[in-house]
Amino acid sequence: MALLKILHYPDPRLHTVAKPVEAVTDKIRQLASDMAETMYAAPGIGLAATQVDRHIRMLVADISEEKNNLLALINPRILMKEGEIVHEEGCLSVPGIYDKVTRAEHIRVQATNLAGETFDLEANGLLAVCIQHEIDHLNGKVFVEYLSRLKQSRIKNKLTKQSREAM
Ligand code: NI
């Protein structure tokens, strides 16, 4: 097990479009396990491979209070979206920034699990928001891109200044 380094916005690598996973190998399972450990340690409720600079279509999520309901989605595809929910989102790649984003309230997703099997998942509310947020990462999109240009440039300046101060 290992903690992975999380890329911070506005790192251009966060805009990489991830490639499909061709086979679920031990290497993929190891990465999922390291991603889960990194997500729990942060702490966060979701993490996409993009955020740890691995540009393959895989994400982990766990919205349970007890942190005992880990989901790993490989090559996730949204089959259905319904309704609307406004949720105040945050992101491990955008530390300290929270803002409201509108997304679908119900989704149905098809994905592959760590055993290499295809499954369908229905998600509502927070889990639906989380999965949509993480799939956006796999498409190279960070949640701040839903905000106004003014807010985006303020966030960019703030985080760039923070990372310079940290060096
Ligand atoms: Ni995020």
- Ligand 1 centre and the CA of 27: distance in Å? 23
Q: Please give the order of strands across the beta sheet that includes 118-124.
A: 46-48, 58-61, 71-82, 106-112, 118-124
Rounded to whole angstroms, the Cα distance separating 5 from 164 reads: 17
Q: What is the pLDDT of residue 165?
A: 85
| Angle subtended at Cα 44 by Cα 42 and Cα 49, rounded to the nearest 5 degrees | 85
**Is residue 3 in some structural domain?**
no
- Ligand 1 centre and the CA of 117: distance in Å? 26
pLDDT along the chain (167 residues), means of 10: 94 98 98 98 98 98 96 98 98 97 98 98 98 98 98 96 83
Q: What is the CATH number of the domain that holds 141?
A: 3.90.45.10
Pair of tokens at residue 108 = 């149905």
- Ligand 1 centre and the CA of 136: distance in Å? 8
- Ligand 1 centre and the CA of 16: distance in Å? 14
Q: Which of 34, 16, 50 is nearest to 134 (CA)?
A: 50
Rounded to whole angstroms, the Cα distance separating 85 from 82 reads: 10
The conformation of residue 150, written as its DSSP 8-state character, comes to H
Find tokens 């929270």 and name the residue: 98
**Is residue 6 in some structural domain?**
no
**Is residue 7 in some structural domain?**
no
- Ligand 1 centre and the CA of 80: distance in Å? 21
Total domains in the fold of the chain: 1
**Is residue 133 in some structural domain?**
yes
According to DSSP H, which parts of 12-55 are helical? 26-41
- Ligand 1 centre and the CA of 47: distance in Å? 6
The conformation of residue 49, written as its DSSP 8-state character, comes to G
Q: Which of 28, 83, 88 is nearest to 60 (CA)?
A: 28
Q: HSE of 66 in the Cβ direction (CA atoms, 13 Å)?
A: 2
Which amino acids are annotated catalytic?
134
* Residue 17 backbone zone (phi > 0: left; psi -120 to 50: alpha; other: beta): beta
pTM score of the predicted model? 0.96
Q: Which domain holds residue 100?
A: 12-166
